[in-house]
Structure 1
Amino acid sequence: MDFIKRFIRQNWIMLCAFIIPVALMGGYFAYRSMAPFGSSSILTVDLGQQYIDFYSYFRSTVLSHPDTFFYSFSKDLGGDMVGIFSYYLMSPLNLIILFFPGKTLSVGVLVITLMKYGLAGYSFAWLLQKTKLQAGFRILAFSTSYAMMGWIIANQLNVIWLDVLYLLPPVIWGLIKLVNENKPWVYIIWFSILLVINYYMAWMVAIFTILFMIWQLNDRSLGFKTSFKRFLKYIGSSVLSVLFACALLLPTLYALMQSKGTYTETAVKFKFEYFPFKMLGKLITGSFNFKEMPSGQPNIFVGMLMLMAFLLYFVDRRFHWRPRLASFAITLFILLSFCLQPLDLLWHAGQFPVWYPYRFSFVFSFWVLWMAAHVLTPNFRIGWKKVIPLAIIIIAIHIYLKLNMSSFSYITDSQLLISIGFSFVGIVWLCIPRYYSPFLYDGLFVMLATFEMATNAYTSLNNISYVSQSDFGDYTTELDKAVNKIKKSDSGFYRIGKTFMRTKDDTMQADYDGGSHFGSTLEPSIPSFYGSIGEPDGDGFVAYTNGTQVTDSLLGMKYFMTARPTTSILGQTTSSILPATSNKPDLNRENIKSEDSLTQTYRNKNALSIAFAASDKIKSLKSNTSDPVAWQSKIYQALAGDKSNKSLFEVQNFDHVTFNNVQTSKKITGTVFSKQNLLEPAYVKLTFVPKTNESYYLTFGANLTSDVASYYLNGKKLTQYPTFRNTVIINVASKQKGKPVTITFKMKQQTMWLQNVSLYKLDQSHFDKLKTTLKSSPLKINYHSNTKITGTIDVKKQHQLLMTTIPYSKGWHVKVDGKNVKTTKVINTFLSVPISKGHHKVELYYRSPWLIAGIIVSVVSIGSAIIFTLYQHKRRTKNRG
């Protein structure tokens, strides 16, 4: 107990620096009833739609199968995971997640978020103590302002970025030691750690360290020669940090070159992205709302008092003119970076952010608080010659914002009044001499800063809505239950599809192999393939929601989970907790594998193995059509060596078309329909009667979004994943011979283009014949993991290859009968290898490209650094002796 008391007594300021932001934000989370405090959750936008699933994946990787650190079939059809981990999951605080399984995962994310708030405050307080810029409990004003800056409030949902706030201060301390003491190791170690934890934020910090070094060298009287040497040592230290982290950085770089790096901007325009004065709106409390997420200005709020202290630095004659001039130049550069396109791209590594603009604005907030800490020292004095211009600037800012409130959706009159109030109290505090009552003066300082930051946090976050805990927890529980039933009955390798979805990363949430994914390291060939076969796709996502019998078979979708509608006490059908995203009458053809009150699981008897013998005609198959139905048929027929020129799908006519409040037309597809009476409902209803029990599919183009029309199948709302940029295929009937089927397009706008609206029937006998051929020579798997698959195959024909539905990557290596075989890419998507007729043993294994090279570089660099350091130490010891 004595030790604890002594520790608290000696470190109470640092503990408070941690506790204050945790208490303030914890209180807010409790106020918003976020689990475990109530029925809501901390999940919103990307945190609820992406990161939470990655955290679940992190748990399964650490606790169950570490090989998924390198590769996973939970990522769309299979993909490298090093890039995912290095961008999303390398924070050491993620280990907290291990204690929060299933539906409690959201609570774990809340705990991690609070920890990052607390560590940010602790880290900045530590830096101020180390540099002796501030002392006593007045440090808490700066640490709280730092930990709760506008950037972290706006990006709280991007919890993966928040580690940078507690890592930036030790990096800066390392730079200070490098310049002042010629000791680079603190900087090297902490910058290496930052590179490993989040290379993306490290890039922004790297740019800022250049600016900070320029300021430091102007702030110290070292002379040109010494300054130049220190700057060169800084460059060398930065390079060494990169070499230390190469074990992770090199494979990550390769992954980026295959995915996100392909979207780097090559055409840059020298222009302002908006009127720069719009940034002034971000100086007001509560200057954030949902509209600011996709686009807006940089989040730079640190409080009016800290802003005023920052402005005073430039006219404070306690500091030499050189560092003040350097500081002004650096400030101008960062401010220009917030609105000038080339500089904005520089900070974002050559890519415009998709949502969450100006992600580097945390460096400006640090810069403002760092300068403010230089100004607001115990011996600070201010005269009227400085107070009056300062007051005029603050008043001018508020007048400008009041006159232009229509341009700021996040500013209200009450917010302006609150900001004016804080500004007035801040100016009064600046004018009061500290020597009358230092304790009361410092206490008021801490209270003012803390209250202003808390007001900003609460006001800003009140503009954001959150996912309820039940929506996340109940869905996750039911998904896990359904997946675990499949796993218990089948330990083989297969993919699972479903007709419901919470997120596109459900596969990672429940740890199964599927076909959907949303992530920044998605290889472009995968969306391209999905779009070509009629599945929803985008630059960063794919969703396997529109499978036909053909694609379900080809991609090995062995099981399908569907949601059963729940029934109320009154017997009325209500929506399930499992939101439907597709319609799949094809499941009428399959047997139910398992079921419970909310789900049914079907077994797809047509599913192919992950690898199988196929005709080598597939190597020469090129896409010459934008019709996904035709392309599916060409792929399947080429694989089976089908000599028939007849497509698997036959075009069908509608038996009847009903036009309501639109012009009539003999042609449906490609016609633009217009409302005749703008005030009356308008729709086009297509009717057909299946003449067989075969599967029927409807296609429609990307123009037919949910903004243009509502879709109905047999009078019920047709569930379809809403985001798609290519023609999609929808299953509308199966085993429904003689039963009329109606498809209705209800217009939401004045016009509606029925783009690529066509009806097709699958030739079931033709499909079954080809499927039987492809299933005749499967790879019989005797071992499988995410990075290794072994098995045997009996190839019964000549001119065959081993076809896989593993996305092609240079990381995959194949041995046939113990000999390495060169891999090839077919249909610009999948891995294949040549194989001869006969019985063969096959081994496929994955090794992340550049991983071995990266490890070698890191080991050699670290080893050499240790040897060199020991040699220098021994030499110095010898010289002293």
Structure 2
Amino acid sequence: MTRRKFRQKTTMLEKAPFLLSFFIPVLIMLGIFIQRQIFPFGDNSFLRTDMYHQYAPFMNEFMEKLKTGGSLSYSWNIGMGSNFTALYAYYLASPVNWLAILVPQSLMIEFMSYMIVLKIGLCGFTFCYYLSRHFKTRDLGISFFSIFYALSAYMAAYSWNIMWLDCLILAPLVLLGLERLVKEDNCLLYCITLGLSIISNYYISIMMCIFMVLYFIALMIMEPSHQDVKTAASDGSVSMVKKRTPYLKKCVNFGVYSLLAGGLAAFLLIPVLFALKMTASGDINIPKTLTSYFSCFEMIARHFVNVKVEIGLDHWPNIYCGVAVLLFFPLYMMNKKIPKKEKAVKGVLLFIMLIGFSLNIPNFIWHGFHFPNSLPARQSFLYIAILLTMCYEGYRNIRANTSAQFFGSFWGVVIFIFLCEAIITEETFSFKEYYVTLFFICLYALLLYYYKKGKAWAPTLAILAVAVISVEASMNTALTSVTTTSRVSYLENQASYQTLAEKIEKEDTSLFRIEKDNRKTKNDAALADYHSASLFSSTANAHISDLYKALGLEGNTNAYSYTGATPFSSALLGVKYTLSLKELDSDLYTLQDEDGNVNLYKNRYSLPIGFMLPADMSDRWDYKILNPVEAQNSFATAATKCGSIFVSAQGGSSSIGQYTLTIEESGFYYIDVTNSSIKDVSVTMGTSTKDFSNVDRGYLLDLGKCTAGTTITLTTEQDEQNFTAAAYRLDINQLNNCMNALNSQPFITDQYTDTYLSGRVTAKEDGLLYTSIAYEKGWTVKVDGVEVEPQLFADTMIAVSLTEGTHSLEFSYEPDGLTKGILISLASLILLCILTAGTYAARKKRTAAADIETETENQKKETNDTGDTPEK
């Protein structure tokens, strides 16, 4: 007789915890959206920090590629051209994002915003599912802790960070999968969910993997040394025998299935690994000295309600997850019903995570062997998950706590709150946080008292608990999260930019770049679908940033932009057109078209995407040893026979906080601020003023056209700084001569797509074809049908040595490591299927054997009861 399990129909009461865990966070977020007048409830949007500057533009580019069939390997619309596979893996790899193909691009912002709401609800649901399976219960109490997981301070701080949210949804399932791997030798859930997590966002999954190693060790320590196993004797009898726990087998399973999870994601991981070598994060510099950011006492106080979340450069972790945890954690530790070993192990695990927030070297390790550039303690959602799990166990066993323990826990929390008020001097805390926390602690203590003593009707307590939890969670989220920006302002003139870019691309079939003089973000090109020369991304090519700074354009760790461009540096980058809301000087620009408030100008001085240089140009031009203006002059004189295109302006005087210059000759002027400590500069030119920010990023200040006799004054609020600078005038005649010389041997584009470019060039003599295509290992170059090794010009751009004559060239791109990654993922999937099938077959065989043993026992019992031999 085969054993079968008949599952009873789930009642509404059993469904309630899951429904509450999903719908309460969703309804709270929707209520906040309505109150904040977020579209369609008003004209605001939930575009915050990186969501404003990065995710919205990148999502728009992704939607455009999905709808037009563009390549997911490369994009000309992001920076100087970017490895889109790497960018996708970092910012867009959530499988849910593929639903964007069903959404009009006009609703791109709303797609992102309301996916956040949905994912917050799913966080509550998956954590509720984890608790129900971990504790084998459908008690309504699991929803209380699930709501706080979904609306924790981590979510309040980082909910806009859409690329991380899938990992928060999957984390409870990965935990459950690891527990099943250790306790039941069932490895499939762990492998699949960890693999999905790595695919969704490999960066947060680094922290997930570190934590899983720690949690696996914790589970192994908590495993009993021996287990009861059924064995069958020769006479057919079955008995229970204690066998040693197969620790080695569990370790092998953990290692194999963890590697398989990584292997499933290899099709993204391998290309990203190669791409990261080109970024500023490619080097690992382990700190030499152990330092502390703050005390654990101050850190634990961040469990209080309404504490301002930290998303800046301070290292404070966002660990609030309901003030009730302050009550439940000591009750958990004092509860006699919970094994001492479990309390000790999980207590140590929490402590390890806490010191990971407060000490620099553990913090460095947790963040993938790098210090985070703002957005601190990115692993704290895992701390929150374990803490809430422990606190739920304390809640469900609270009747095992004595009254003395209960009141001791309550008064201990009260004393801790008052101590924090007396000791902590951080500006993020005010008296309100202390007393609102105290108020909710009292409410929870009162509810727990009646629950523990059984002095109230259970449904009444449940309704009150849900109400109090909802009020606390919504209050904390509303006061610490969901900041807004104007949707109208963000999308203003976007249609005009897109229309003009689309029209000029039809008229001019060459490969060129367009820039704006009034960017909202460095990724505006991805919003309006045109090729650009600016980028803000963690996958930014560090060599481009270095070259930009050398030429006097803006560059930093993970960004570079067109800010500071001169007509000459602009030409070197292949920028041919400019979008502007104002009238530009006719000496440098020609009006090409207009749409609404937007004008499209053609740059008078531009160069094609490639042009010929002397064969020894790399030896002649060393951009690293010169200031930005001299680097451009040096390039011009080394590449052509013309003279310097920038002339030093005499008469400037430096003083503390100020630089003054009287213009002697009319022309276009640029200032090189040589004091790299100065960040913000205000320029006064007669009656007009102009402000520059982030000047310490090394870009030239473009003063525009200045008239002789005008006095220009540059000031900074950093009064203690000596304002050292140098002024230069653009020599239009020399610029014209230089550009004519460089344009005499152009690369003529025949065809281009996202990943392919073909064209031809006629070299007057042996030389070097310079291109403004940023070098990556994935580029393949063919000259006259024969593959050649591309050269690296200025450590950044692709260059090709050519002999005299006319040549056809082809450039094609495939992300480095993509093919290897796909093969590894396929092999991992096949191996996982084989292992799963083998495990299933073995389990089925064991089940069949157990059924036979059970049937034999039943037959023997029947024989003993009747004294007859049963029929065969």
Note whether the superposition's TM-score is higher than 0.5.
yes
1:688 aligns with 2:671: no
- Return the alpha-carbon distance in structure 2 between the equivalents of residues 29 and 834 of structure 1: 58
Aligned amino acid, residue 635 of structure 2: I
1:252 aligns with 2:281: no
Whether contact under 8 Å (1:535, 1:728) holds in the other structure is yes
Whether contact under 8 Å (1:89, 1:160) holds in the other structure is yes
Structure 2 segments unaligned to the other structure (5+ residues): 1-8, 227-243, 850-872
Q: 1:331 to 1:697 in 2, by over 3 A?
A: closer
Aligned amino acid, residue 87 of structure 2: I
1:420 aligns with 2:438: yes
**Of residues 391, 410, 413 in structure 1, which corresponds to 2:410?**
391
- Return the alpha-carbon distance in structure 2 between the equivalents of residues 426 and 63 of structure 1: 51
1:118-133 to 2 correspondences below 5 Å: 118-133=121-136
**Of residues 326, 330, 337 in structure 1, which corresponds to 2:345?**
326
Aligned amino acid, residue 698 of structure 1: I
How far apart are residue 863 of structure 1 and its match?
Answer: 1.7
- Report the counterpart of residue 23 of structure 2 in structure 1: 19
Whether contact under 8 Å (1:247, 1:858) holds in the other structure is yes
Q: 1:59 to 1:52 in 2, by over 3 A?
A: same
Stretch deviating more after TM superposition (520-529 or 749-758): 749-758
- Report the counterpart of residue 773 of structure 1 in structure 2: 741
1:699 aligns with 2:666: no
CA deviation string 1:317-353 (max 9, x = no partner):
1122111111111111111111111111111011111
- Report the counterpart of residue 152 of structure 1 in structure 2: 155
SS at match of 2:324: helix
- Report the counterpart of residue 511 of structure 1 in structure 2: 529
- Report the counterpart of residue 71 of structure 1 in structure 2: 74
CA deviation string 1:11-45 (max 9, x = no partner):
45423321110100110111111122112221122
- Report the counterpart of residue 726 of structure 1 in structure 2: 698
- Report the counterpart of residue 725 of structure 2 in structure 1: 756
How far apart are residue 479 of structure 1 and its match?
Answer: 3.2
Q: 1:14 to 1:701 in 2, by over 3 A?
A: same
How far apart are residue 391 of structure 1 and its match?
Answer: 2.1
Q: 1:848 to 1:7 in 2, by over 3 A?
A: farther
Aligned amino acid, residue 365 of structure 2: L
- Report the counterpart of residue 564 of structure 2 in structure 1: 546
Structure showing greater radius of gyration is 2
Whether contact under 8 Å (2:278, 2:543) holds in the other structure is no
- Report the counterpart of residue 849 of structure 1 in structure 2: 816
CA deviation string 1:138-180 (max 9, x = no partner):
3321221111011111112222212222101111121122122
1:269 aligns with 2:268: no
SS at match of 1:512: coil
Aligned amino acid, residue 688 of structure 1: I
SS at match of 2:399: coil
Aligned amino acid, residue 772 of structure 2: T
- Return the alpha-carbon distance in structure 1 between the equivalents of residues 605 and 845 of structure 2: 77
CA deviation string 1:582-636 (max 9, x = no partner):
xx74x53332001234221111243222122221122213236332111112223
- Return the alpha-carbon distance in structure 2 between the equivalents of residues 791 and 15 of structure 1: 60
**Of residues 312, 317, 334 in structure 2, which corresponds to 1:298?**
317
- Report the counterpart of residue 569 of structure 1 in structure 2: none
Stretch deviating more after TM superposition (813-822 or 276-285): 276-285
- Report the counterpart of residue 362 of structure 2 in structure 1: 343
Whether contact under 8 Å (2:493, 2:598) holds in the other structure is no
Structure 1 segments unaligned to the other structure (5+ residues): 566-583, 655-666, 675-682
RMSD: 2.6
- Return the alpha-carbon distance in structure 2 between the equivalents of residues 95 and 619 of structure 1: 44
Whether contact under 8 Å (1:305, 1:449) holds in the other structure is no
How far apart are residue 702 of structure 1 and its match?
Answer: 5.0
How far apart are residue 723 of structure 1 and its match?
Answer: 4.4
How far apart are residue 790 of structure 1 and its match?
Answer: 1.0
Stretch deviating more after TM superposition (23-32 or 717-726): 717-726
Q: 1:182 to 1:487 in 2, by over 3 A?
A: same
Aligned amino acid, residue 817 of structure 1: D
1:486-497 to 2 correspondences below 5 Å: 486-497=504-515
Whether contact under 8 Å (2:672, 2:699) holds in the other structure is yes
The TM-score, its normalising length taken from structure 1, stands at 0.88
CA deviation string 1:536-576 (max 9, x = no partner):
111111110222121122222110111138xxxxxxxxxxx
**Aligned positions, number:** 820
1:791 aligns with 2:768: no
- Report the counterpart of residue 713 of structure 2 in structure 1: 744
- Return the alpha-carbon distance in structure 1 between the equivalents of residues 831 and 648 of structure 2: 69
- Report the counterpart of residue 518 of structure 2 in structure 1: 500
Whether contact under 8 Å (1:57, 1:511) holds in the other structure is yes
Whether contact under 8 Å (1:531, 1:727) holds in the other structure is yes
Q: 1:501 to 1:37 in 2, by over 3 A?
A: same
- Report the counterpart of residue 114 of structure 2 in structure 1: 111
How far apart are residue 766 of structure 1 and its match?
Answer: 3.1
How far apart are residue 409 of structure 1 and its match?
Answer: 1.9
- Report the counterpart of residue 555 of structure 2 in structure 1: 537
- Return the alpha-carbon distance in structure 2 between the equivalents of residues 747 and 767 of structure 1: 32
Q: 1:227 to 1:374 in 2, by over 3 A?
A: farther
- Report the counterpart of residue 821 of structure 1 in structure 2: 788
- Report the counterpart of residue 479 of structure 1 in structure 2: 497
- Return the alpha-carbon distance in structure 2 between the equivalents of residues 175 and 75 of structure 1: 39
Whether contact under 8 Å (1:505, 1:516) holds in the other structure is yes
- Return the alpha-carbon distance in structure 2 between the equivalents of residues 651 and 611 of structure 1: 29
How far apart are residue 104 of structure 1 and its match?
Answer: 3.4
- Report the counterpart of residue 636 of structure 2 in structure 1: 636
Q: 1:847 to 1:630 in 2, by over 3 A?
A: same
- Return the alpha-carbon distance in structure 2 between the equivalents of residues 817 and 647 of structure 1: 36
- Report the counterpart of residue 601 of structure 2 in structure 1: 602
Whether contact under 8 Å (2:757, 2:811) holds in the other structure is yes
1:165-314 to 2 correspondences below 5 Å: 165-223=168-226, 225-289=245-309, 293-314=312-333
- Return the alpha-carbon distance in structure 1 between the equivalents of residues 693 and 499 of structure 2: 24
Q: 1:266 to 1:639 in 2, by over 3 A?
A: farther
**Of residues 619, 642, 646 in structure 2, which corresponds to 1:649?**
646
How far apart are residue 874 of structure 1 and its match?
Answer: 5.3
How far apart are residue 700 of structure 1 and its match?
Answer: 2.6
Q: 1:184 to 1:749 in 2, by over 3 A?
A: closer
Q: 1:532 to 1:323 in 2, by over 3 A?
A: same
CA deviation string 1:387-420 (max 9, x = no partner):
2331232122211221135x22222222222110
- Return the alpha-carbon distance in structure 2 between the equivalents of residues 308 and 9 of structure 1: 27
Whether contact under 8 Å (2:21, 2:121) holds in the other structure is yes
How far apart are residue 85 of structure 1 and its match?
Answer: 1.0
Whether contact under 8 Å (1:280, 1:401) holds in the other structure is no
How far apart are residue 311 of structure 1 and its match?
Answer: 2.5
CA deviation string 1:276-329 (max 9, x = no partner):
22113311111115x653314111111122332223222211122111111111
How far apart are residue 63 of structure 1 and its match?
Answer: 1.6
- Report the counterpart of residue 97 of structure 2 in structure 1: 94
Whether contact under 8 Å (2:36, 2:484) holds in the other structure is no
Q: 1:285 to 1:375 in 2, by over 3 A?
A: same
- Return the alpha-carbon distance in structure 1 between the equivalents of residues 266 and 716 of structure 2: 55
How far apart are residue 653 of structure 1 and its match?
Answer: 2.8
How far apart are residue 804 of structure 1 and its match?
Answer: 0.8
1:811 aligns with 2:778: yes
- Report the counterpart of residue 618 of structure 2 in structure 1: 619
**Of residues 651, 655, 661 in structure 2, which corresponds to 1:672?**
655
Whether contact under 8 Å (2:510, 2:748) holds in the other structure is no
Aligned amino acid, residue 287 of structure 2: A
- Return the alpha-carbon distance in structure 1 between the equivalents of residues 468 and 248 of structure 2: 42
- Return the alpha-carbon distance in structure 2 between the equivalents of residues 209 and 826 of structure 1: 44
Whether contact under 8 Å (1:71, 1:82) holds in the other structure is yes
Identity of aligned residues (%): 23
Whether contact under 8 Å (1:100, 1:107) holds in the other structure is no
SS at match of 1:588: coil
